[in-house]
Amino acid sequence: MSAVEDTRPTHLAGHYAPVPDEIDVVDLPVEGALPPELDGRYVRNGPNPLPGADPGHWFRGHGMLHGVRLSAGRATWYRNRWVRTGALAGRRFLTWRGVDLTAVPANTHVIEHGGRLLALVEQGLPHEVDRDLGTIGPCDFGGRLRTAMTAHPKTDPETGELHFYGYSPVPPYLTYHRLSAAGELVVSRRVKVRRPTLMHDAAITARHVVWLDLPLTFSLRRMATGFPFGWDESYAARLGVMRHDDPTATVRWFEIDPCYVFHVGTAHEDETGRIVLDAARYGAADMAAAWSGRARRTRSGVAGADPAGESAALGVARMHRWTLDPATGAVTEAPLHDRPVEFPTLDPDRVGRAARYRYAVTSTARANAVVRLDLATGDATAHELGPDVKAGEAVFVPSARPGRDEDEGWLLTITTRADGTASRLLVLDAGDVTRQVAAVTLPRGVPTGFHGSWLPEPAVG
């Protein structure tokens, strides 16, 4: 289609273009040397509509998992599979009986917890899949989960517990849940918020959950005409702090400057008891232009409805820090760096704790890169990819060396040419992201997606 204008909607063209089928390919070409320590599977989730279908928005395509098996310095296979949900089978989310939490695309994330591999999307139940990416079915943890499950749960690195929540357009608007390390749902409690909002992410510390109650609100009017969330200047932005070890704890709310956050970096409690949160922050002016009912329309729907920063309207998220003092009620906030970034990640052993490094992605029309931010020095280094290659979220895989440094490990990311014709799995040195350790050539262009995980092979014996 290079000789003529590509008239497909943006979310179906170029590096977003869905693949038409499921394939298995073995013995993938490798450039460089894969570290033998990388023994496992990298699996990434993202939207992929069925052939000929147009869901009308990037967020709505059926979930497809793309996996690469690494072992003994080799890339032994690539495979991709749709997540077999009720939506893929043609069932409707809204029915005369109510909401069907299994009729969802399951297209946002994939995590492993308590022996289960779960494909996630925030408006419905998780769907369990096996390590070869076949769908087992929806998971409600023995009937105990009766709300949707966020696509951004947080694993406490010390307890192994999984903290998550569900939000809803009807009461209760927000419900907090916790799984034990073994995968049993042990806590569910309602959290009072003023109205339903698009609460895409939250954070934890060792003792607290940090809620993001921000001005992307739900309305039936918007749902009738397209995407149901929009920027609401009358809805004050605030952060909530709640003890997660106390089932009766109230939420302490802190008002902040208007903004929106799709993805947090992490949060922690400092030595004085203050809560410190960092995240990729979008300014109010950009959100108002991109998400209000008056926003200009694009081929992909609402202008800027792209958390990777592709659109001109929303390619301006920057890492930002808020410090909340429960003793005084004071809030301070400041930018951490001026480089546009999204999809912040970190060493999983530092979730909810103080951490020096963040990894993120820059994706604009002129610059694409995987970025390493040193929050102690303020320095940023980048693995630059140029204008024609798009990088996905960079997942940190820690080295197994005892006593390792925080940035000792690797970053895994799938990159795709802007025209969608080719993809690679890059392995970068997390301590020096300018250094490419290895690259696996994938057998097809993999469409830009959302989030993924590294799944180490289970220990034998």
- Read off the pLDDT of residues 251-289 as tens digits, 9 standing for 90 and up: 999 999 999 999 999 999 999 999 999 999 999 988 887
Cα–Cα distance for residue pair 43/67, rounded to 1 Å: 4
* DSSP code at position 288: H
Cα Rg of the chain, angstroms: 21
| Average pLDDT score, the chain | 91
Q: Residue 443: is it exposed, middle or buried by C-beta count within 10 angstroms (0-12/13-18/19+)?
A: middle
Distances from the Cα of 403 to the Cα of 69, 327, 398, 425, angstroms: 27, 35, 11, 28
| pLDDT 10s digits, 204-249 | 999 999 999 999 999 888 776 667 888 999 999 999 999 998 878 8
Query: Confidence class of residue 307 from pLDDT cuts 50, 70 and 90?
Result: very low
| pLDDT 10s digits, 375-410 | 999 999 999 999 999 999 999 999 999 999 999 999
Taking the mean position of all CA atoms in its chain, how far away is CA 39? 23
Retrieve residue 72's tokens: 């003994």
CA neighbours closer than 13 Å in the CB half-sphere of residue 184: 2
* DSSP code at position 197: B
Query: Confidence class of residue 296 from pLDDT cuts 50, 70 and 90?
Result: very low
Cα–Cα distance for residue pair 23/29, rounded to 1 Å: 17
Question: Given this model, what pLDDT does residue 223 score?
Answer: 73
Please state whether the peptide bond connecting residue 172 to the residue before it is cis, i.e. omega within 30 degrees of 0: yes
Instruction: Please determine, for residue 358, whether its predicted confidence score (pLDDT) is greater than 70.
Output: yes
Question: Given this model, what pLDDT does residue 105 score?
Answer: 96
Instruction: Please determine, for residue 37, whether its predicted confidence score (pLDDT) is greater than 80.
Output: yes
Cα–Cα distance for residue pair 282/303, rounded to 1 Å: 14
Query: Confidence class of residue 5 from pLDDT cuts 50, 70 and 90?
Result: low
- pLDDT, mean of residues 435-461: 94
Query: Which CATH number is associated with domain 10-456?
Result: 2.120.10.30
Retrieve residue 113's tokens: 């917890």
Pairing of strands 368-374, 379-384: antiparallel
Instruction: Please determine, for residue 295, whether its predicted confidence score (pLDDT) is greater than 80.
Output: no
Question: Given this model, what pLDDT does residue 4 score?
Answer: 56
pTM over 0.85: yes
Question: Given this model, what pLDDT does residue 315 score?
Answer: 53
Instruction: Please determine, for residue 67, whether its predicted confidence score (pLDDT) is greater than 60.
Output: yes
| pLDDT 10s digits, 23-33 | 999 999 999 99
Break the chain into its structural domains and give their ranges: 10-456
Which H helix or E strand runs over 225? helix 220-225
Query: Confidence class of residue 293 from pLDDT cuts 50, 70 and 90?
Result: very low
